[in-house]
Amino acid sequence: MKVLLTGGAGYIGSHVANNLVDAGHKVHIIDNLITGNKVLIPKGADFTNCNIDDSKKIESLLTNNQFDILMHFAGFIQVEESVNFPEKYLDNNTTKAIKLFKLCKKNNLTKIIFSSTASVYGSGNNTNLISEENLLNPQNPYAFSKMKTEEFLKENEDSYKFIILRYFNVAGADKLLRAGQISKRSTHLIKILSEIAVGKRNFIEVYGNDYNTHDGTAIRDYIHVSDLADIHIEIAKYLLMHSNSQILNCGYGKGYSVLDVINEANKICNNSIKYKFTKRRKGDVEKLISNTNKIQKLINWEPKYDDLNTIIKSSIMWERKLNDKIL
């Protein structure tokens, strides 16, 4: 399998790229390194430094290679930033993505795996587990931009064969510590807790303790990034063998509140994690937990790291590596 992979110097893209290379597949990464980091690119992958709307460079790649699949990870992902700069997110995550898809189609690359988000569901329409058939109700421009890109693919299903993967909360790091989260401004809960664990921060702000949950804090479904990477390999195999497009949730179907996660981190860190409550952030939702029946039936995938403690420990180990400047 030969894969064109955008955003391969980013968190999720680099894990998928590593798994592809490990499995003997050929990978060509496109990344502009604005939010990505070159140290995350696997040694066995080819790399082009460019934007996803650089038609000249990408068309040259498409002309000179016979790619089987496009895996599209590149995009802006900060919810709070998207609220302040919605046009930036719609331009990059939707307009430029569609331009890339059209260029790929022009060059006969029509199989696409699109990195989307569970945020498109909003608050889940008050259901316990969210299935792919739930109504979409994005609560922030980041989620809206992903939904609009999904809409393009669904409206052009005659032209593309695609898998849309709606990620729930991705966390953790590669067990060999080849990849993990590198961020100038961390916003993900477990990443921030890992920074506290290695002394980079003193405390974490918990946004809202007045949600209608068991402890008043928001609930999320966390999936280890390495399990998510495995999903992409199996989904790519499926896409090459089948002609029908799919939309799939990626999670474990378990919900943990912010305080649940902090308490678990404190078990690892001898109660060194300090926190304080502050008001809710605009655009945040109360609860997101996945129904994973569809993906479990569709592909041969069993999670290997379905344990909150394991997820947090791997993230802390990666943070220690960053802190020791081993990279």
Residues labelled catalytic: 142
178: amino acid identity, one letter? R
* Helix, strand, or coil (residue 312): helix
Separation in Å, CA 158 to CA 71, 161, 176 = 19, 8, 41
| DSSP designation for 134 | S
Tokens representing 217 are 């804090």
Separation in Å, CA 202 to CA 182, 259, 273 = 19, 17, 8
Q: Determine the Cα–Cα distance for residues 216 and 275; give it in Å rounded to an integer.
A: 14
Helix, strand, coil: what percent of the chain each, to 5? 40, 20, 40
Residues in contact with 141: Cβ distance below 8 Å, sequence separation at least 6, in sequence order: 82, 83, 85, 86, 89, 90, 283
Q: Which among 100, 66, 77, 61 has a CA at the least distance from the CA of 10?
A: 77
Residues in contact with 234: Cβ distance below 8 Å, sequence separation at least 6, in sequence order: 299, 300, 301
Residues in contact with 127: Cβ distance below 8 Å, sequence separation at least 6, in sequence order: 134
Separation in Å, CA 164 to CA 30, 112, 121 = 20, 8, 14
Which ranges in the chain belong to alpha helices (H)?
11-22, 55-64, 79-84, 86-90, 96-106, 141-155, 189-197, 225-241, 258-268, 293-298, 308-323
